[in-house]
């Protein structure tokens, strides 16, 4: 069992007090992990985390997940539903079990916050039926705001995941230099990250969050897009070999004990057209300007505005992206988004993927991203693999 992260629980209970919630009941995998430390990997049976305003918590899991939950969760009160072998459960249904738990904790008739941004209509109607006297409220934003700032254990995992991402990027660039195809480059990166995980983190997991039909045992991902395929953004790598005169985008996503890191590079293969090189040089300069503005208190929109001004000053005003990055954490793409509308001030402990870019359809695509940690005085760059104007 992992230790209880008190600052996380304090933020959540404070958010409940602000929103006048007696309890939170969450189903979203990232949220139930946040409140319990338990990731069953596949969510074919609901995992329900309960947190009361006084800090009392419970975790409701299918009997199949009993041993795993008790080994991984920092929650002491673990309840079971369903049927599995000789396990003693609260009954066949999570719904009646949840109602009983909330009744025991004295909140069944209270105001209960749900992660409604995740719940299906059918699941919400089930909750209305099983909790007829409760006042159900949307706590999605409150939970997400608590997740904005990372706890010390999450920051430790972020630094370690960043080192693995750097190892993967180094391996990808080496394979690109060797002449490998997109799949060979991606496979080399993932193999290097898995080797680092095996050697350096024997007590950590790289599982990602699955859904009710699929689990993700290993979230150490890499993919490669070269030439015209760069404009596809997230397609699966192919056996296409990057060619001289092209650029290739290398994408690395690393995860350690639930915390995600992003490291992305665009690499020139030999000599490239002047407009490609010019765009890469421009985006590198703009990144440096954005980095210089990262400090506590800066509104996130200021980072976007800095990038926008930099693009306009360099003649790329027609190609302003919708955002220049996003938060990282239990999601590889979390809120807040780094865009013009987000006024959230930066706080120490935030993890951000900074990725201003230039996209000129059919001509230029720049994909360069680093994950940074907002500190008390500025920022710490976590991904540190070779950067700048890269050429093989």
Calculate the alpha carbon distances from 331 to 219, 255, 335, 352 in Å.
11, 9, 9, 11
Read off the pTM. 0.94
| Paired sense of beta strands 23-26 and 334-337, if any | unpaired
Q: What is the CA radius of gyration of the chain?
A: 23
Yes or no: say if 227 and 235 are a contact pair by the CB < 8 Å rule.
Answer: no
* pLDDT value of position 212: 86
Yes or no: say if 311 and 129 are a contact pair by the CB < 8 Å rule.
Answer: no
* pLDDT value of position 362: 86
Looking at 124-220, which runs of residues are DSSP E strands?
135-138
**Angstrom distance (rounded) from CA 286 to CA 40:** 41
* pLDDT value of position 233: 86
* pLDDT value of position 3: 64
Q: Where are the domains of the chain?
A: 6-147, 149-391
The CATH architecture to which 149-391 belongs is Alpha-Beta Complex (3.90)
**Residue 215, phi-psi category: left (phi > 0), alpha (psi -120 to 50), beta (remainder):** beta
**Angstrom distance (rounded) from CA 107 to CA 99:** 10
pLDDT in tens, the chain (392 residues): 556 677 899 999 999 999 999 999 999 999 999 999 999 999 999 999 999 999 999 999 999 999 999 999 999 999 999 999 999 999 999 999 999 999 999 999 999 999 999 999 999 999 999 999 999 999 999 999 999 999 999 999 999 999 999 999 999 999 999 999 999 999 999 999 999 999 999 999 999 999 888 999 999 999 999 999 999 988 999 999 999 999 999 999 999 999 999 999 999 999 999 999 999 999 999 999 999 999 999 999 999 999 999 999 999 999 999 999 999 999 999 999 999 999 999 999 999 999 999 999 889 999 999 999 999 999 999 999 999 999 99
Yes or no: say if 189 and 13 are a contact pair by the CB < 8 Å rule.
Answer: no
Choose among 308, 316, 307: nearest CA to 360: 316
CATH of 6-147, one of 3.40.50.12780, 3.40.350.10, 1.25.40.390, 3.30.70.1900: 3.40.350.10
């Amino acid at each position: 069992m992992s230790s209880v992260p008190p600052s996380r629980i304090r933020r959540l209970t404070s958010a409940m007090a602000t929103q006048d919630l007696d309890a939170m009941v969450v189903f979203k995998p990232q949220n139930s992990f946040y409140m319990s430390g338990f990731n069953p990997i596949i969510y074919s049976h609901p995992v329900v985390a309960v947190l009361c305003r006084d800090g009392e918590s419970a975790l409701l899991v299918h009997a199949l997940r009993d041993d795993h939950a008790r080994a991984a969760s920092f929650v002491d009160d673990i309840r079971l539903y369903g049927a599995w072998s000789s396990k003693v459960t609260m009954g066949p249904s999570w719904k009646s079990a949840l109602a009983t738990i909330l009744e025991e904790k004295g909140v069944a008739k209270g105001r209960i916050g749900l992660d409604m941004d995740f719940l299906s209509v059918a699941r919400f109607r089930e909750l209305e039926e099983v909790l007829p006297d409760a006042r159900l409220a949307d706590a999605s934003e409150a939970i997400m705001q608590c997740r904005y700032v990372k706890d010390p254990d999450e920051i430790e995992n972020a630094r370690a995941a960043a080192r693995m991402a750097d190892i993967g990027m180094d391996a990808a660039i080496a394979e690109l230099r060797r002449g490998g195809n997109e799949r060979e480059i991606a496979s080399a990166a993932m193999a290097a990250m898995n080797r680092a995980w095996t050697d350096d983190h024997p007590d950590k997991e790289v599982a990602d969050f699955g859904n009710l039909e699929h689990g993700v045992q290993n979230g150490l991902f890499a993919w490669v897009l070269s030439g015209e395929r760069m404009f596809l953004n997230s397609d699966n790598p192919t056996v296409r070999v990057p060619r001289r005169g092209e650029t290739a985008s290398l994408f690395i996503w690393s995860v350690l004990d639930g915390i995600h890191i992003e490291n992305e590079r665009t690499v020139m293969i030999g000599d490239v057209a002047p407009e490609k090189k010019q765009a890469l040089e421009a985006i590198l300069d703009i990144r440096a300007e954005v980095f210089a503005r990262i400090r506590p208190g800066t509104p996130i929109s200021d980072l976007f505005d800095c990038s926008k001004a930099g693009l306009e000053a360099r003649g790329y005003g027609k190609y302003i992206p919708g955002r220049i990055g996003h938060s990282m954490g239990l999601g590889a793409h979390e809120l807040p988004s780094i865009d013009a509308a987000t006024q959230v001030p930066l706080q120490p402990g935030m993890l951000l993927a900074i990725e201003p870019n230039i996209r000129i359809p059919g001509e230029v695509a720049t994909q360069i991203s680093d994950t940074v940690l907002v500190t008390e005085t500025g920022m710490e760059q976590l991904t540190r693999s070779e950067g700048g104007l890269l050429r093989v």
